[in-house]
Chain A
Amino acid sequence: MNSTAATAPRFEVGVDIGGTFTDVVCRDCDSGAMRLVKIPTTRANPSAGVLHAVQHMVSEWGVLPQQIGRFVHGTTVATNAVLERKGAKIGLITTDGFKDTLEIGRQSRHAVYSVMLKPETPVFLVPGALRREVPERITANGEVLVPLDEAAVRREVGDLVANGVQAIAVSFLFSYLNPAHERRVAEIIRESYPDLMVSLSCEVDPAFREYERTCITAFDAYLKPVIDHYLENMESDLEANCVGSALQIMQSRGGVASSHIARRRPVRLFLSGPAAGVIGGSMAGEAAGYQDVITIDIGGTSADIALVSRGKPLIAAEGMLDGYAVRVPMVDVNAIGAGGGSIAWLDGAKSLRVGPASAGSEPGPACYGRGGEQPTVTDASIVLGYVDPGYFAGGSLRLQPELSRRVIDSRIAKPLGLSVEQAALGIHRVVNANMAEGIRFVSVKRGIDPRRFGLVPLGGGGPVHAAALARELGMRRVIVPRHPGVLSARGLLAAPVEHEAATAFHSTLEKARKADLEREFAALDRQCAELMRIEGITPDVVDVQYFADVCYVGQSYHLEIPVVMAGDTMAQVRRDFFAAHDRIYGHSAEGPVKFVNLRTVHQAPVAAGARFDEPCGAEEGDPRKGVRPILTEKSGGFVEAQVYERSRIKPGVTFYGPAIVEQADTTTVIEPGWRAEVDVRGNLVMTPGDLR
């Protein structure tokens, strides 16, 4: 081979920038070898983490920037801009009479049992003074009732610009039926202010209900200048460091898109990080032979639960961000307030409660030795022998077990008249009961029996609790991926390139004609195909799927049903809708059914290998590191557990609990009576011992 071989692209890199750590995964596409590192996140400038990652790869791993063929990034920058109120100053233009829609919202509240209420609509996005009305009106049939007053548009835009706005959101009534007026406003803005960013509701979220559409459109405009700046900088930084490959960004639905496309629609990045984790979990489950899994990511303050059915993460049509409902499709991740940092406390009647308050990462659990005075779940894990204080996060943080014992003793054990160990076990029993009910609730909500599903734990805390949760819920399989602590970064490399487009389509099934559906889907296909073309992806590798949001006439919520264009489409949609309604809501009846939205999803899957399906070997050496006593709910007292080093357990090896499997990013607890086996792809699969 000639000299270009040395610089031919052969590595792909996933970088997940979280609040505390930046996780980096580098995969050698030729050998399948995987390297990973955790770098502390630079809070002030998170994108610096990407450069640190490149430098680390060059200096430690001998990877040349030119050899990087794909660079995939999961980011919390959109979410943080909202949490920290660091978006742009924007203006909003609405139909005459409706500028307050954004502030009024839907008038219901989350704080039901309080009279000290706080606004539950995101007024901070754009206060009344920067919300403007212009004469125009489209009817419920999509007809123009009042033509757009273009002079008013020019006047209001000019005034907003004079007030210093960096972006403008436009949301007119019924624009999802007829976008002409919104589009014309965009043209008018472009004529006078070609650099001003614009978000149109007919493009961000063309679906009915004006508050939800206006809200997400305002979020989009608020984030656009921030995200644009962030990603543009990252692109040029990478280029300056000789990384020539395209930068790809994880989106909330669990697919990646190239950076310059992602910049156009920043609201699709809200769940960028967690979505990658779910993708990672689903791929690991699939590689182990389980298409139906529940992922649980146990971090410091929360446990994020997601369902994966037939290999696909379930998508929710809307999610919550900082207490605001945001209508943008995202992987359905349900957070409950229970994690490693959750604080154990005694209430007024001396009941042992755990969470929802958390010690977070500062000061963190007492054992961190950073001044934490409250006992946490992690402190209990130390007392119970699950976590080796000397090997936490790969030994990067040396824990102080005596501090854990002291706070549990003084705050929980003494007041309750228990031993420190009993109190620690109590903390685990309570938090596990809480998490198990959370998993059950999420499953039942989707019409799923958790006992049929595998459990995939992720995050540093997941594998500590997984066996206890599975036991509690009657689940028969726990699949611990090879690197649960950096599964989000790993998942980035496994996600397909995905583009999705949707349109409102209000028609009963009886009245809708197949030709109408074909026409609508063709238009949506053109949008997605154009994006794929920009990505440089040829149509032959793209998988196209159609969906319709369908409901009974009179219902105001709907279900997403796959649409197959071959055969009797309408009859099939009707049958599938009844079946889905029965599965999720427990009944279905013949009755008039209607379409609400149509959606097309284009996916280009990544190459084999990146999907967790390559064989995974083991390092040389005896995996047994010794024994240490652990206490579990079922063990009665302390029992000697064999401690293993994960990287040295060879595929095919079977062993039994009580055991502990240690690795840099997490610790897996194998309860007495459970059996564990490492499969050929490196997953650690746990089953109750009675199952063969």
Chain B
Amino acid sequence: MNRVDRAEVVDPITTEVIRNKLEGIANEMELTLLKSSFSPIVKEGLDTSASLFTVKAETLAQACAIPVHLATLIPTIRSMLRRYPLETMREGDAYILNDPYCGGTHLPDIAIMTPVFYRGRVIAMSATMTHHGDIGGFSPGSLPTNSTEIYQEGLRIPPLKFREAGQYNETLVALLRQNSRLPDTLMGDLNAQLAACTVGARRLQELADVYGADLLMAIFDELLDRSEIMTREALRRIPEGTYRYVDAMDNDGIELDQRIRVEVAVTVRDGTIAFDLAGTSPQVKGPMNCVPSGSQAAAYYAVRVLTDPTIPTNGGCFRPVSLKLPQGSLVNPVEPAPVNARTSTIKRIATSMVSALAEVLPDRIAAPAAGTLLVVAFGGMNADGKRYIVGELIAGGSGAAEGLDGVDVVDTDASNCMNLPAEALEMEAPIRLRRVALRCDSGGAGEFRGGLGVVREYEILADGVTFTHRGERHYSAAPGIRGGLAGASARSVIRRAGGAEEVIPSKVLTVLNQGDCVIVETPGGGGYGVPKNRNTVTNDIANGKVSVEAARRLYGHR
């Protein structure tokens, strides 16, 4: 039905009522997932999402707590539909997939989808994706930092039936259980996903009872068209042109001296936006590669930042968006390249896409943020013989903008993680945090100062602690704009008990012993405007954000 014919049956009030309900349904699905999942990464890290899809595999409504998940289910659902067309689906079916090379993201993220039947016909699809605790491969948690091919990262699941007409696929279930280090958690979380899909399906069926399936599906189409119209309108308000941004990531953890180039060209024209990543490095040996769904999530994040935040998010918003991802590159790797550590790549792509427009949209786009999340993990045996693994994700500073200093130590762009309290860390592991402090002088100087990074100093209290450090921005910095200066680069050192200092080359996997200290300093955000024009440097000094020396040198303060 085209929009003109549809106008005969669809009224604007009912359309908005249904939209409110669809958002409520997606939120209820997400809540069901968060509540009924077992794995801590879902509960603590909110690493999960729930979506409703139209029968044409466009997003109808989505709930996700972190942008990494934005629309990542789209290629998954398309892949399932290619393998199992609508007319083959039966009531009680549920489909499963995790293979990044079949539309997934990385192997721990498993998607479950159920078709929503109403009177014998599929009217929509209800889908969820969850980061699972373990899906095999050569390291617990299925996120090996040194993998060189995907087979090392865990079990690959192509599009398959997880349930058929209400009956579990016992063969598949047995295979899944056999391949996970945490089979009960895996099955518990898969069932939580099914429960969430069922909530979505049931509530959609209740809506169909009230409004009728035909009207409901016409309204779905109308909602997508409306978001498309508004997105195109918002894109038309951005000055037309092609905007470029180039950045470098440190290394892939395997070839430590090899920097990784990220290049983005954003073309805004006639209500459309195209992201071309030509010029980005070829795929790398280590697991930083990112399959297309990751760049897509980054692009949709960028569109949400660049357009009107009141536009209801659904597949209509994504229609004016296109991506060019060169084959064999970091952002479109060729099988069997490893991909599990793609989050830092998605974050950098997202920041680059948005930052490309900072000069033309100065009132809406701040200077680049540090855009990194340092991963540190400590593992070993406690005095009472119990194994422990504690990990944390540590942010840097955000970028400054006209009238707005950057925020110190805050997660930005595609992720949104909490840090670990000292009191939680010290209860779990033989480690003492000696210092958690704002990193003086790390914010990019400017009339408006970039946000500061953080210093965390760990003292190791036992021997034989395995230590993983996956950094970024050790060899680059978040640039300033409009005369503002770059934020500080990251810097991490290990100070051995004997006094020797080892500078960490962004990534390291090593062993620490009693008396060793690790000091990490995360990067700052870019500054905005000429530093000389800043008139609150005295406060900055008093509050410990700028040193007297830097105040003189960078701000001309006396």
Contact = CB atoms under 8 A, between A and B. Distances in A.
Given A97-B434, A100-B438, A352 B13 contact: yes
A416 interface: yes
Contacts of A129: 539, 542-544
Contacts of B404: 116-118
Contacts of B432: 139
Given A139-B426, A430-B13, A433-B21, A349 B545 contact: no
A109 B410 CA distance: 7
A497 to B, nearest CB: 34
Interface in A198-212: 208-211
Interface in B14-38: 14-17, 19-21, 23-24, 27-28, 31-32, 35-36, 38
A107 B410 contact: yes
- Chain A contact residues: over half helix, strand or loop, or mixed? loop
Contact of A128 (B66, B406, B542): B542
Contact of A347 (B27, B230, B427): B230
A657 to B, nearest CB: 21
A350 B305 contact: no
* Residue among B21, B411, B423 with the highest chain A CB neighbour number at 10 A: B423
B417 interface: yes
A107 B426 contact: no
Contact of A112 (B225, B226, B416): B416
Contacts of B28: 440-441, 444
B91 to A, nearest CB: 23
A422 B432 CA distance: 66
Contacts of B102: none
Contact of A98 (B23, B407, B435): B435
B427 A506 contact: yes
Interface string B399-430: 10100101111111100111101111011000
B143 interface: no
Interface residues of A, number: 63
A347 B311 contact: yes
B408 A585 contact: no
A105 B436 CA distance: 11
Contact of B435 (A97, A434, A587): A97
B279 interface: no
A108 B423 contact: no
B441 to A, nearest CB: 14
Contact of B454 (A104, A209, A351, A352): A104
Contacts of B365: 115-116
B543 A128 contact: yes
A462 to B, nearest CB: 20
Given A348-B311, A426-B12, A116 B401 contact: yes
B398 interface: yes
Contacts of B410: 107-109, 117, 120
Contacts of B227: 349
B43 interface: yes
Contacts of A557: 43
Contacts of A674: none
A117 B226 CA distance: 29
B229 interface: yes
Interface in B156-187: none
Interface in B85-136: none
A99 B409 CA distance: 15
A422 B13 CA distance: 9
B40 interface: yes
Contact of A437 (B24, B36, B437): B24
Contacts of A108: 410-411, 416-418
A31 interface: no
Residue from the set A97, A173, A350, A352 with the largest chain B CB neighbour count within 10 Å = A97
Interface string A444-473: 110100000000000000000000000000
Contact of A106 (B230, B305, B418, B433): B418
A209 B40 contact: no
Nearest to A350: B12
Contacts of A173: 422-423
16 contacts: A103-B408, A106-B418, A108-B417, A116-B364, A117-B404, A118-B407, A127-B539, A128-B542, A208-B421, A209-B423, A347-B311, A348-B233, A348-B308, A352-B12, A426-B13, A556-B43
Interface of B: 12-17, 19-21, 23-24, 27-28, 31-32, 35-36, 38, 40, 43-44, 65-67, 188, 192, 195, 225-227, 229-230, 233-234, 301, 304-305, 308-312, 354, 364-366, 369, 394-395, 398-399, 401, 404, 406-413, 416-419, 421-424, 426-427, 432-438, 451, 454, 457, 539, 542-545
Given A119-B408, A120-B407, 8 more contacts: A97-B436, A112-B66, A209-B423, A348-B229, A351-B312, A352-B12, A445-B31, A506-B427
Top 4 nearest A-B pairs (CB, nearest first) are A437-B24, A128-B543, A349-B226, A426-B13
Interface of A: 97-101, 103-109, 112-120, 127-129, 139-140, 173-174, 208-211, 347-353, 416, 422, 425-426, 429-430, 433-434, 436-437, 440-441, 444-445, 447, 506, 554-557, 584-587
